[in-house]
Structures are given as structure tokens and as C-alpha cells.
Amino acid sequence: MKKILLLFFFLISATAAYSQLKLNVDASASNLLRYGNGYEYTGDIKLPKEYFENLTDARLNINGVIFGIRYEVSDPIEYGLDFVGVRKRYVEYEHDAGVSLRAGDYWEIVSRGLSLNVFEDRPLGYDTGIDGIRLIYKNTFGKKNPIGVKAMILGGDIDYSDYITPERIEKYKIRSAYAEVSPLKPLTLGLNYVYSIGDLPEENVSTKIHTDLPEINLELNLTDIQFYAAYSHKSTRVTPNEIYPIPETGLGDGFYSSFSYFKNKIGVTLDYKNYRYDITLPDNRSATRPTRMLPYQNPPTAQKEHTSTLISRNPHVVDFNDEVGGQVDIVYSPTDKLSFNFNGSIASRHYQYIDTDTTTGLNYQRVDRSDNFIPSLDDPFSPFWEIFLEGEYYASDKVYVKAAFARQNSTLYNQVFPENSEKIFTTTIPVEFKYSFNTEYTLTFIGEQQWAHNSFRATREADQNFTNQFLSLTFSKSPSLNISFNTESTNDDEEPTGKKFWWLSEISYKINQSNTVLVSYGSERGGLRCANGICRFVQPFEGFRASVQSSF
């Protein structure tokens, strides 16, 4: 209530000031309404599912001073904790001298995110936003040989609700100082330092941690070549308590580099990652370890994010605490109408482990290897690899065709019973065909076929192999109407929900430049969904969904 009264007072004051001083005022607002009603599956158990969410974002600019607020009604929420009230609010000012100040809620990424990358992904129920202050200075000195400078300091609080277990909330007080200089036009050097104090709930006990996280990065941009490299080092000190009676310091680091070359009709990108933020023994791994990579970090995944429905059904979940690998991505366009894309990626853990205990107990020891900076395809390293090839062809102004081939192999190694390691192999062929009748009407067809093998399927080898199919047909009238109908099917006898067929119809209508309505009805298969390295399992759903997006 106090926040609402404060907002009301602010609006009255702003109106009075405007009427007296004739200030330059600009206002905008957006609203997103989401509603769903149906059933959600947990295995073969069918439970009612309903959510109602409304997010109103308002922005007021008075002579360069920006005031922003988000009022949210999520009762019940689709993912996370129910909330009604002011979720975000901020004030921001930017001066022509290169200084900007923001107080309140904000998100920020430093370089590529090895030491700091806080963001919101509403569809996944993920938010690591900071409530505090951020001050940025950016300027260029000199005319003949200009030197670019950027400096940033920030501080504030993060209340991170675990997107897997929303009731588990980690609290962080964070401070960061960043400096960036470009002594030459194509060269940028950056240095960042993050310090945080964390309060983590562990078995109803508060665990205090203090973390130091420096980072150094370099970026080079030439005419045809771009190169980037960054290294960060993490040191986390755990305060002793009932769970951790002995003082513990967790050390880890991460390195990421990217090399890109673009010339005429070809582009090549090479990414390399070596993330070692919390390497530990197999029986000590945990998604809530206080010495793990912290939520306000989020480095690059160095792997391809797919738009294909079936390819993305089995994404590789990056283990930022213990993963080495990379990808190569090649784009070749022999003509303006034809292009090809090749992507190959590989990842694994750094080490394998052996049990040296001759009794019934476990005593793991790491097997060191000098080439641990190179990924391994041996099973004990839980390897993943993927090959992807795609071609696009604009046959004419009316006809567009796209076809792809993807092969994914992943192993999740079982240290205790290696024969029970989970192995998933998939081969997927997606095809897209688009025909434009004229500038207004378009028909799009998508067909995907997948051959899959999952070693966790029963004991009979025949049941471990199955196929999946996805079909989609969309009719569009530009720029206002989209009507689509999707189906998905499988012959997997051990599909968790017991279903073999799903269908979904969807209509999107743009009423005007400010309002768009989307309505869907049917069933969705569910599964892992990933974005920016964050993955969550979405339960299968059947029923009705609707959303209204408005801007003013």
C-alpha cells in the first residue's frame, strides 16, 4: 500500500510540476495479460492447472529523467511464486557528458557474462535482477588518436528465487566495479571485479558465503576478423555452520574465447569454453552447493540454440561448474538466394574418477590428465556432441525452402553403475516450405522427423529405439493474422504421460499497432526448455491459453 501511495503522490507531483513549469514530458506504457486453464501432467498423473498473470510497465520521461514502474498481478502464477503488487521500479538519468545513473531495479551484463550477467526470462520463471544503484561513465578522449573509456560501479541486492524450487530463495548483496579502455580503435581491454555476500538456505539452515570474482577480457575488431577472450577467477569462503562445520574455500575459474572471420560469401566462428567454477567428486555434486557458479554469473554456452521443435527436445544442459568444449559455425552464401549453415559442437567434463574403496563404501579419486583442456568422448566424461547442417533457398519471390540435418549424441555417466549410464542419440530432419500467394497471404508448412535412442527405455533393446514426428501448418495474412495447427506424435511405449499424440491450434490477431491477441487450445508435450544456458523441465499441458499484448 505504501508503494501505491508513493506512486500516486509522484504522479500528482509530476502533473503539478508540468502544469506550472511546462516541462518536456513523454509517457509510455505496455501491458501483458496471460491466462491459461487446463491440465498439467506429472508422469501419467493429470492435475488441474490455471494461471493468471498481468504485467503493466509504465515509463515517464521528464526532461531526461526517466521514471519506471512495473505493477504485477500473478495470482496464480504459471512458474514461480504468486505475487501482487509493484515488482519493479526505477529512476534513471543520462547526461550528455557521458554519465548515466539508475536507482532501483535493473539488469546488467559485463562483457560476455563470466563474472556478471543478471537478466530476466519470464517464460522460464527466471529473474536475477538487482535492486540498487548503477553509475556509468562513458567518453572518448582525443581526436587524432581517440581513446575510448568506460567505467561502471554498481551495488544492490538480489533475491534469487530458484526457478526449479521457487520457495528456495537465495539472497545476495553484490558490489561490482568495471573499467574498459580502447587505446586503439579496434582494441578493447576490460577489467571487472565483483564482491558478494550470500545467504543461502540449506536444510533450514542459513549458509553465509563471501565471494570474490575478478575478470579480465579483451576484444579485437578488425575488418574481417573479430577475436574475444575472457578469464574469471572465483573464490568463495563458506562460513562454518551446522552443515559446514569446517571453514571451506571453493576456488574455480572460467575461460571463454571466440574467433570470427567474415569475407565475401563465407563466415566462420570458433568458440571455446573451459568452465571450472566448482569441480568436485561425483558424490559431492549439487545444484545448490555454496561453492558452485553463482546465479549472477552466466557465461556463453558455446553451442547452438535451435528453433526446431524436435531438435530442442533434448538440449545439452551446460554444466558451468565442470565443462570443457566448444563449437564451430560456418555460414556460406554462394548466391543471394542460397545459403548453408554448418555447426559442430562438443563438450565433456574435465576428469574421470575411480572408486579406490575395496569395501561397500565409496572413496572417489580423480584421474588427472594433462590434456584436460580438451573435451573427451569417452563415457566417464559424460560427453556430448552434435553435428548440424542447414540449407536455405529462395526459389522465387513466392517460394522459400529450408531443410536441415542434425545428429546429437549425449551420455550422462553413472559412476556407481556404469552399465546404467543414460545414453541419448537422436537424428532429426526438419523441413520448412513457405509459399506466398501475394504480398498479404502466406502458407507455411514445417515437417520434422526424428529417430531416437534412449538407453533408459525398458530392458529390451527394441524399446530403446523410437521415432517422433512434428507437423505444422500456418496461414498468415500480413500484417495482422496468423492461424496455425500443430501435431506431434511418437511410438515411444514409455512416454511418461502415456500419450502418443498431441495437437495444438493457435490464432494470433493484431488488432492495431498497439494491441495483439493470441489464443491457443490443445495439448503440448512438454520437456526441457533452455535459453541462455538456463534450462527447466516444463510439464506437459493441455487446455486453453490466451494472451493480450498492448502498448501505449
pLDDT tens by residue, 326-383: 999 999 999 999 999 999 999 999 999 998 887 877 889 999 999 999 999 999 999 9
Backbone phi and psi for residue 160, each to the nearest 5 degrees, phi listed first: -95, 115
Min mean pLDDT across 3-17, 336-350, 515-529 is at 3-17
For the chain, the 3-state helix, strand and coil shares in percent, each to the nearest 5, are 5, 60, 30
The per-residue pLDDT for range 107-141, each reduced to its tens digit, is 999 999 999 999 999 888 899 999 999 999 999 99
Average pLDDT, the chain: 92
Contact 539, 516 (CB under 8 A): no
Share of the chain above pLDDT 90, in %: 79
Position 460 pLDDT exceeds 70 = no
Position 16 pLDDT exceeds 80 = no
Environment class of residue 176 by beta-carbon count within 10 Å: exposed (0-12), middle (13-18) or buried (19+)?
buried
pLDDT reported for residue 124: 87
pLDDT reported for residue 1: 44
pLDDT confidence bin for 8, thresholds 50/70/90: very low
Position 250 pLDDT exceeds 60 = yes
pLDDT confidence bin for 320, thresholds 50/70/90: very high
Mean pLDDT on 37-49: 90
pLDDT reported for residue 457: 76
Position 88 pLDDT exceeds 70 = yes
pLDDT confidence bin for 521, thresholds 50/70/90: very high
Beta strands (DSSP E) in 75-146 are 83-94, 99-106, 108-109, 117-118, 120-121, 126-127, 130-141
Position 173 pLDDT exceeds 70 = yes
Mean pLDDT on 473-486: 96
pLDDT reported for residue 3: 53
The per-residue pLDDT for range 224-244, each reduced to its tens digit, is 999 999 999 999 999 999 989
Q: For residue 261, which amino acid is it?
A: Y
Residues 272/304/106/131 CA torsion (nearest 10 deg)? -70
